[in-house]
Amino acid sequence: MCDMRPIAFRNAEGDKLQGLFCSGRGEAACVILCFPFADERKQSVRAYMQVARVLGQRGLASMLFDYSGCGNSEGEFQNATFDVWARDTLCAYDYAKSLRYSKIMALGVRLGANIVLEAQATRPVFEYILMWNLIADTWRYLQAEKRRTRLLSMLSAKRRGPSCAQDPDGEIVDLSGYHCGLGLLKSFKSHYPEDLLRRIDNGVVESAVVVSRDSAEAGMYADGTAPRLRVQSQSFWYMPDASGLDGFAEATAELCERRLA
């Protein structure tokens, strides 16, 4: 069973970050779950809660939290950058460490995977990082989100929210009500996952990128068979059964348990 309770801790800027903690049977291992971006964050809440429950059933503790400026956490979204959210993730690690957990890993989905990667490249403290559908080209991802938002605004009669900062091309970016500041827009343009992967792929800290059956993002394609694949000099895990909510939770928990047992 998973005994879930609210938690709060401070980030490097002093903002209070809110989250949930799910205790497991053991006292040694904890998994930090890092949310994706914008609407994908909303869509992932149920899946993350299911992952936490399954991890608890397997005896592993877990915690999920909102980055500064997101959800229930303090801070201004317009001040967000990948670097700020990566530091938030490292503060989550420090919080888990203060609870006496000796083995701590981080898990992220979509842009959450990129934040996990950024955090590990900044300070390689995690025992293991697991990245579901890492976004290989974050700038291209942002452009796709902008197109989707424009389409939704055309289909909606509602007025858009207040104006926001302009991106480097001079266009206003309002992603479904998320008003992106200039720092965050620059993060999307200057984030290079392949460089970060090479930086942490030093034989000391292990990492895996999980590619689901229906998603091979921006050229990162799996070209072999399960379970271990080599793609662009980085080790990938391919989980063919990770479809649906239960499949995602079970596959994720299995990988976490395998590394933290």
Q: What is the pLDDT of residue 131?
A: 86
- Cα dihedral: 148, 49, 254, 246 (round 10): -70
Q: What is the 3-state secondary structure (H, E, C) of the chain?
A: CCEEEEEEEECCCCCEEEEEEEECCCCCEEEEEECCCHHHHHHHHHHHHHHHHHHHHCCCEEEEECCCCCCCCCCCHHHCCHHHHHHHHHHHHHHHHHCCCCEEEEEEECHHHHHHHHHHHHCCCCCEEEEECCCCCHHHHHHHHHHHHHHHHHHCCCCCCCCCCECCCCCECEECCEECCHHHHHHHHHCCHHHHHHHHCCCCCEEEEEECCCCCHHHCCCCCCCCEEEECCEEEEECCCCCHHHHHHHHHHHHHHHHHC
Tens of pLDDT, residue by residue over 123-181, are 989 988 888 888 888 888 888 887 777 776 666 655 444 444 445 554 546 666 677 88
Distance CA 115, CA 131 (A): 10
Residues of the chain with confidence (pLDDT) below 50? 159-166, 170, 172, 203-204, 213-238, 240
- The fold for domain 3-138+188-260 equals Rossmann fold (3.40.50)
Distance of CA 28 to the CA centre of its chain: 23
Per-residue exposure over 129-143, b if at least 16 CB sit within 10 Å of its own CB, e if not = bbbbbbbbbbbebbe
pLDDT recorded at residue 243: 58
The pair of structure tokens assigned to 70 is 């997101």
- With a threshold of 0.85, does the pTM exceed it? no
* Residue 231: predicted pLDDT: 35
Q: What is the pLDDT of residue 141?
A: 86
Distances (CA, A) of 239 to 109, 200, 245, 249, 250: 14, 23, 14, 12, 11
Strand order in the sheet with 29-34: 3-10, 16-23, 61-65, 29-34, 103-109, 128-132, 206-211, 234-238, 228-231
Residue spans of the domains in the chain: they are 3-138+188-260
